[in-house]
Structure 1
Amino acid sequence: MKALVFKRYGKPNQVALAEIPRPTPKPNEILVQVHAAGLNPIDNMIPKGTFKPILKFQLPATLGSDLAGVVVEVGSSVTRFKPGDAVFASIFDFGTGALAEFARVPEHAAALKPPNLDFVQAASIPMVGLTSWQALKERMRLKPHQKVFIPAGAGGIGTFAIQLATYLGARVGTTTSTGNVDLVRSLGADEVVDYKTQQFEDVLRDYDAVLGTVRGDALEKSLRILKPGSTIASLIGPPDAAFARARGMNFFMVFLFGLLSRKIIRHAGKIGAEYSFLFVHPDGSQLAEIGELLKAERIRPVIDKVFPFEQAKAALAYLEKGRAKGKVVVQMRSSANSG
């Protein structure tokens, strides 16, 4: 089968389409014929070696985390799915990849595709959906009328997280460029800062939570808009000691991550805020709940561009420019739009 693989860390020319053996599902896995795969920024970071200490891959490895497709085979202990089922899933952190004609998916990571979404739309959801769910519902425990700052509102995470926060009854502040103000307002943003003309830390006040999605000094600046008792969940780091312990890392890594996060934890503590690093984990039951919101049209997918499988590498390059409004998706099969 065809797959987008990387052979070595550190060099972009190591990413290429290649013929590899079709995988065989383990007892607790399903084999999915992939119709579409959603791209995420981490798909560009992995081949560079950014996550080498954290994520384990056997090289050459297939890229991609998010997929939607049809079950063609089930492992001997699988009970929730059968061949012919249309599913979507995140297989992030399993050492396997979604940018392939077929993919192994652990049963617990998959959910039935919402019937009102086509495969391209469904493939755009898993990582941004699960990340938003785990950040806003589990880590922040957002309540109605609380205020949450979700920067980069027109991006992949932003377009989903704004909608979920609005569904949860929260008020949402975001940043975006002039051309995307109407888009983020249509998704539910209450306070929109045009970063080309204003600094968000000069405009926003008394927020209960911040979702860290933008690299650079944005996280430290966001401390200025928070009130005591607030929560910061960062997707971009720095990783903390709690994260290292949760992944069973050795003492040195726990110490190192504790060191890396010490400054932001100290600054957050001064204003009575709590900082934590969030690393998304696949969860089919959460994805099924997200699927219900999509089915009820409480949340809608936002897709910027769809690339054919042959142009998967170009799709990653396009994503890396950081200008996509919503998600970038790679389509493996032409039937992807039919349901």
Structure 2
Amino acid sequence: MDELLFRLSNQLEALQVQASVTAQQGQQWCAVWFAEVQRLSQDLYNEQYGHQVIDFVKNLGSYLESGWEQLQFHYYSLQFNPREFYQHLGNLCFSDVTRRELAFCITGLIIGSVAGYNIGLNWQRPSHHMHHMKAIICHHYIGIEGVSTIDDAEMPTIQKSNELLIQVRAASVNVVDAKICWGYSKAYRRLLNSGSFLYCQRYKELPVTLGRDCSGVVVDIGQSVINFDIGDEVYLAVPPWASGTMAEYLVIPECQVAKRPRLVTFEASASLPYSGCLAWDALVNKSNIQEGNARGKRVLVYGGSTPVGCILIQLVKFWGGHVVTACKPHAIPVTRALGADEVIPFNESNIEKELELHDKYHAIFYTGGQPIDEFILKKHLLPYGSYVSTMPEYLTSDSLGFFFGSIFSGCVRIKLMVQYMFGCNIHHWKEGSKINTAYLQSLRDLVDADQLQTVVDRAFAPHNIEQALHHVLDPNAIGSTIIKFQ
């Protein structure tokens, strides 16, 4: 301890000598400065207002000189004995503080200093640099007129360890996107996209990004992602109440993504996820057709040239069923190429009379196209046959007022809380239950085996989104409509 005190005393004395030298140099500098001020004052003496200037300078110089002299006096009159100081400090500590307390104090100071130093080194301030991207959004629920493409949308970043950042290459336009422009599923969108345990914490009610599926490349991954790596080419689908996919970049959980087919382009891959999941779910979960086995079944696909219809025709035919489809006359060659055994054209004749000319069906799928009353189609079902519509269902929740809407919101939130407590998947609400990565993997395998063909009608640039939405609503469209981002 004495040796430590001796070294500290020597260092303090050296510091005192250095301070004295610095003070002397400062005094010399001030003397030179005062002489220069005096010379300038003499030069200004013969000028106009010279007397006033020289008086001001003299007063200022006198004030500074007296202040410096006082500072010097206090400095040199200060007597500091380091050895005596440490002796008094030691007496104070050892007289009032035990050695154990002093040891704890020193240990705490050391640990705190080391911890603070490490925290300071590893502290990462959040970056305020914001990257922007192109996105297709709906500003208001007034129809297609409320949709536009913006170039300054905030680029999303990975927030959870199970998320992927995907660079979107292409996204398909679906009928439900046009309905979203009119407010479709807005109640579920408001309820299911808020809260710490729900789909997306970065959600705002409006504007909402359009798009239900896409294909792209993984550019970043969370720490706990195990099935994907940077550079993987993937595709995915999301339910109507979720944030959309028509943006240059997208963040989404790993459990909702599958690797895309490698034998087709990004545009062709983007035509499959949403429509393919709807078609697969309609066959396997909603109809009396077993997965992989449609032998002996007569199936009517009403609207065979729609995106869902094109996939339904191929799946039923591949599983061994007999496919009859109804479509526009100009789409007949396409549907026959996809495997349809019989084709009923939509023409000026009565479609009901055309249906009477054919045998009844084990399953009927309505996928859009020319409108028809479902009761007319159901009359042509065999006993215990199944009728399935793949069109977006009507949601009463979108038209509820404040009172009934509040009751509905309360019920949904309670159910969400119960599901969260029991570990249920929130993504299975409504049409979310129809979207499954297992379906995406099966579709990918069929495409790579050249047993499922993709049908892309037209591809648009993002700034032509209004034309794309009008085209997807056109009953003459065949197959999928695509937005290309890359």
TM-based fold match above 0.5: yes
| Pairwise CA distance, 1:91 | 2.1
Residue of structure 1 in register with 2:172 after alignment:
38
| Pairwise CA distance, 1:303 | 0.8
SS at match of 1:76: coil
The unaligned stretches of length 5 or more in structure 2 are 1-132, 191-203, 397-404, 410-429
Residue of structure 2 in register with 1:108 after alignment:
255
| Pairwise CA distance, 1:37 | 0.5
- Aligned partner of 1:164 among 296, 303, 315: 315
| Pairwise CA distance, 1:30 | 1.0
Residue of structure 2 in register with 1:181 after alignment:
332
* Contact 1:108–1:283 (CA under 8 A) maintained in structure 2: no
Residue of structure 2 in register with 1:24 after alignment:
157
* Cα distance change, pair 48–114 in 1 and its aligned pair in 2 (3 A): same
Write 1 or 2 for the structure with the bigger share of helix: 2
Once the two structures are overlaid, the 10-residue window that deviates more, 126-135 or 17-26, is 17-26
Mapping of residues 168-317 of structure 1, within 5 Å: 168-196=319-347, 197=349, 199=351, 200-214=354-368, 216-236=371-391, 281-317=434-470
| Pairwise CA distance, 1:98 | 1.1
Q: Compute the TM-score of the two structures, normalised by the length of structure 2.
A: 0.59
Distance 2:165 2:241 in 1: 14
- Aligned partner of 1:321 among 453, 474, 477: 474
* Contact 2:238–2:274 (CA under 8 A) maintained in structure 1: no
| Pairwise CA distance, 1:240 | 9.4
Distance 1:221 1:55 in 2: 34
* Contact 1:201–1:224 (CA under 8 A) maintained in structure 2: no
* Cα distance change, pair 94–109 in 1 and its aligned pair in 2 (3 A): farther
* Contact 2:303–2:366 (CA under 8 A) maintained in structure 1: no
SS at match of 1:131: helix
Note the aligned Cα RMSD (angstroms): 2.4
* Cα distance change, pair 280–232 in 1 and its aligned pair in 2 (3 A): farther
SS at match of 1:299: coil
CA deviation map 1:255-281 (0-9, x unaligned): xxxxxxxxxxxxxxxxxxxxxx97763
Write 1 or 2 for the structure with the bigger share of strand: 1
CA deviation map 1:123-169 (0-9, x unaligned): 01111111111111222142312111111111211111101111111
SS at match of 1:108: helix
Question: What amino acid is aligned across from residue 138 of structure 1 in structure 2?
Answer: N
Distance 1:133 1:87 in 2: 19
Distance 1:7 1:240 in 2: 21
SS at match of 2:344: strand
* Cα distance change, pair 76–226 in 1 and its aligned pair in 2 (3 A): same
- Aligned partner of 2:239 among 71, 92, 97: 92
- Aligned partner of 2:266 among 87, 112, 119: 119
SS at match of 2:452: coil
Higher relative contact order (CA 8 A, sep 6+): 1
- Does 2:307 match 1:153? no
| Percent of aligned pairs sharing the same letter | 28
Once the two structures are overlaid, the 10-residue window that deviates more, 295-304 or 187-196, is 187-196
Q: What is the count of residue pairs matched by the alignment?
A: 303
Distance 1:280 1:149 in 2: 24
Distance 2:460 2:221 in 1: 29
| Pairwise CA distance, 1:316 | 1.4
Distance 2:392 2:407 in 1: 19
Mapping of residues 132-147 of structure 1, within 5 Å: 132-142=279-289, 143-147=294-298
| Pairwise CA distance, 1:42 | 0.4
| Pairwise CA distance, 1:331 | 0.6
- Does 2:213 match 1:66? yes
CA deviation map 1:184-241 (0-9, x unaligned): 1111111211120452432332201111223743311111210101111222365599
Distance 2:336 2:456 in 1: 16
The unaligned stretches of length 5 or more in structure 1 are 242-248, 254-276, 334-339
* Contact 2:239–2:432 (CA under 8 A) maintained in structure 1: no
* Cα distance change, pair 176–216 in 1 and its aligned pair in 2 (3 A): closer
Residue of structure 1 in register with 2:194 after alignment:
none
Distance 1:13 1:238 in 2: 23
Distance 1:295 1:322 in 2: 30
* Contact 2:456–2:478 (CA under 8 A) maintained in structure 1: yes
Distance 2:438 2:286 in 1: 17
Question: What amino acid is aligned across from residue 151 of structure 1 in structure 2?
Answer: Y
Residue of structure 1 in register with 2:92 after alignment:
none
Residue of structure 1 in register with 2:419 after alignment:
none
* Cα distance change, pair 3–326 in 1 and its aligned pair in 2 (3 A): same
